[in-house]
Amino acid sequence: MIQRIQSIYLFIVAVISGGLQFVFHLWENVKGIAVFAKDNMLYFGMFLASAALAIITIFMFKNRKLQFVLGRLNIILNFFLLGLFVYQSLNVSGETNVSEKGIGILLPIISIVFLVLANKAIKKDEDLVKSVDRLR
């Protein structure tokens, strides 16, 4: 059933990962040029993979266990993306490549929060179905 609360959470993750990466820049380099995720193919691909995985997870509502696993996989993907952002911003000595951090670096954190909420709601549905099956 698509009208569940976890579908809303997963849709928000898809919008954040798929759409907001074009709106918010990741950082500004020394020349003052804003760097977006679309400028780096690795970051762009990981954002799109996260959005696609969220959309696929929405339509796996008949198999809640697979939906839960896909949500965890998406959380891991966003943690990896966040780790790449932290590595990029801290590894550069003397701020030669990264001058000012942007709000786009926080997008994986927001996605992780909504994915955790979605997984919590999926787990709650699974527990409800198990309790009803126990009564039969």
Contact 54, 122 (CB under 8 A): no
Token code pair at residue 89: 């911003």
Average pLDDT over the chain, rounded to whole?
85
The DSSP 8-state label assigned to residue 102 in this structure reads -
Q: Are 28 and 99 in contact (CB under 8 A)?
A: yes
Distance CA 75, CA 41 (A): 20
Residue 120 — left, alpha, or beta (φ > 0 → left; ψ -120 to 50 → alpha)? alpha
pTM exceeds 0.75 for this model? yes
**What band does 16 get if pLDDT is binned at 50, 70 and 90?**
very high
Q: Answer yes or no: is pLDDT of 115 > 90.
A: yes
**Two structure tokens written together for 93:** 């000595």
**Whether the predicted pLDDT of 136 surpasses 70:** no
Please check the confidence at residue 1 and state whether its pLDDT lies above 80: no
Q: Strand order in 100-101's β-sheet?
A: 34-35, 27-28, 100-101
**pLDDT in the model for residue 58:** 92
d(CA 88, CA 97): 9
Q: Is residue 96 scored above 70 in pLDDT?
A: no
